[in-house]
Amino acid sequence: MHYATTAARSLNADILGLQEPVDYQVEFFSEQLPEYDWVGVARDDGDRGGEYCAVYVRRTLGEIKNHGTFWLSDTPEAIGSRTWGNRCVRICTYAEIALHEPHASAFVFNCHLDHESQYAREAAVRLIRDRMELIAGGRPTILMGDFNVTPENPALLPLRESYRDVHADLPSTEGTFHGFSDAAPFDKIDYIWVNPAWEIERAEIHRDRPEGGYPSDHDPVSARLTLSLGA
């Protein structure tokens, strides 16, 4: 976890999304990064049991006004539910941020899709897309997460209709999952998606190895975004 928080601090990001941390890890991040507020619940029991999709927001960016978690299933309000054949419970956590400048609301969704079931991934993307439209209503929206699919996978098609993959212009050889090995090629399975309210200034995949260690079995992805004029 030391390597992970070192990497997070080096990014100097206003918003951080974590996938797969358990309770002590989200607390460790909170202790090591006290300038952030965070939201999220664990997927198994809606409290502290299992993995999170936590969202951290730097206080200088804005205030978290509203937040929630829904389960990636046919019963998204049912804690711990899984109805699409996936063995692992899967969730999406979101936060509404009241930005200090400009004075507007932005929405951040953070998810982790299933690693085995294509059907579950396809159904999850449709649910997340519909929930983003319901909750954010077209206002500035960011979706980040571990999708467990490469860019050509049809599960991503519903997102491509209205959202942009911020890393789409990077070479196809630029992947994100390495499994604690620097032997290329890597699979690109981690994404940041934005709706048209955002302009993409820069998007990167970070290969840093703080003090020679791996922050994760995935390389962090980042984007520098600004709100479009009139958004």
Domain range for residue 100? 2-227
Position 114 pLDDT exceeds 90: yes
Q: How many of the other CB atoms lie within 10 Å of CB of 84?
A: 19
Q: How many of the other CB atoms lie within 10 Å of CB of 171?
A: 6
Q: What is the mean pLDDT of residues 142-156?
A: 97
Q: What is the mean pLDDT of the chain?
A: 92
Contact status, residue 109 vs residue 17, Cβ threshold 8 Å = no
Question: Tokens standing for 69?
Answer: 């978690």
Rounded to 10 degrees, the C-alpha dihedral 168/172/177/182 comes to -140
Residue matched to tokens 């932005």 = 106
Q: What is the mean pLDDT of residues 50-76?
A: 98
CB burial of 173-209 (b: ≥16 within 10 Å; e: otherwise) equals ebbbbbeeeeeeebebbbbbbbbebbebeebbbeeee
Question: Tokens standing for 135?
Answer: 């909750």
pLDDT tens-place string over residues 171-195: 766 888 777 788 767 899 999 999 9
Q: What is the mean pLDDT of residues 22-44?
A: 96
- Closest-CA residue to 227 (of 199, 202, 192): 199
Question: Tokens standing for 117?
Answer: 């079931």
Rounded to 10 degrees, the C-alpha dihedral 134/104/55/121 comes to 30
pLDDT score of 4: 62
Contact status, residue 22 vs residue 8, Cβ threshold 8 Å = no
Tell me, what CATH number does 189's domain have? 3.60.10.10
| Domains contained in the chain, number | 1
